[in-house]
Amino acid sequence: MEHQLLCCEVESIRRAYPDTNLLNDRVLRAMLKAEETCAPSVSYFKCVQKEILPSMRKIVATWMLEGGERGAQHGAAVAPLCPGVPCRSLAALRRAGVPCRRPAVCEEQKCEEEVFPLAMNYLDRFLSLEPLKKSRLQLLGATCMFVASKMKETIPLTAEKLCIYTDNSIRPDELLQMELLLVNKLKWNLAAMTPHDFIEHFLSKMPEAEENKQIIRKHAQTFVALCATDVKFISNPPSMVAAGSVVAAVQGLHLGSPNTFLSCYRLTHFLSRVIKCDPDCLRACQEQIEALLESSLRQAQQNLDPKASEGEEEEAEEADLACTPTDVRDVDI
């Protein structure tokens, strides 16, 4: 009689059922209050950091987010690449003096959507408190991913795997030492609010079909990840970034006509009341998100076709940003 083994393992992660009790107004009010306690300093590049520049932060953020064959899906500023092949943004980081070689963490490891924004929250809060040499910036980025993965993932990233993504430029013991420094500087306040925490609250209040909500959710999550890579959005609270991302997603998908709930005017005013902010501030945040998407898509296209003529580049720069939402549907989520 032949002995056979049956493998019942599955790749899908088991998840709890959605709890509607977590989407009520009392929870939302508590979240709006809690987001103020985990906000990084806006001016840490001028007041705290001597060597770290905004451009370095963006490159490390790109390394934390992208990779594999899906590296350009969020309007990437770098082209996707294979393991072991240095990418252009990482080469730029090395020229700036930051050791950063092997691409891809979140995308290639298929991390939960919440991991990357939470890791960037840790990174910004740490840099708001502690001066850091640029040679240790990628170590900090890897450590923030390490801790955020523990907070949000069912199967978190390992220290060894993260070291591989740096082409072994850091050691596991260095990462663990930085982890201890990070959590102490943050006073173990690791359950920070991110824009992802607010998206579900907003969608639950919108009278829209579930299939449309899924599309809006996916696009809004893409915008949130894109905003986390840009230093301009540090000053915006997570609730405003989430609301601006939802409005930008709805407008880009053309789901709202002028006289419906999903029209730009009505949705903006509704969400501004929900998060208790000025509608003009929310509209400005939405426009910033659309402008960021436009510039990121343009940069990604230039990276894919670096020999594009200067005339085409000038024509793209003169394109009206008001048509940006049309391009949202072209983004492969």
The domain boundary, picked from 185, 220, 253, lies at 185
Burial profile 267-292: b = 16 or more Cβ within 10 angstroms, e = fewer: bbebbbebbebeeeebbebbbbbbeb
Q: Which pLDDT does position 256 carry in this prediction?
A: 66
CB-based contacts of 21, cutoff 8 Å, min separation 6: 27
Range of the domain at 144: 50-185
Residue 209 maps to a domain:
yes
Q: Based on the fold, state whether residues 172 and 227 are members of the same structural domain.
A: no
Q: What is the pLDDT of residues 232-284, one digit of tens each?
A: 999 899 999 999 999 999 988 887 666 677 788 888 999 999 999 999 999 99
Question: Are residue 203 and residue 164 in the same domain, yes or no?
Answer: no
- Look up the CATH number of the domain holding residue 222: 1.10.472.10
Are 220 and 180 in a shared domain? no
pLDDT, tens digit, 9 for 90 and up, residues 40-70: 988 889 888 888 999 999 999 988 887 322 3
pLDDT of residue 260: 73
The DSSP-derived string for 3-63 is: --------SSPP-PPP-GGGGSHHHHHHHHHHGGGGPPPTTHHHHT-SS--HHHHHHHHHH
Positions in the chain whose pLDDT score sits under 50: 67-103, 309, 319-327, 329, 333
- Based on the fold, state whether residues 165 and 232 are members of the same structural domain: no
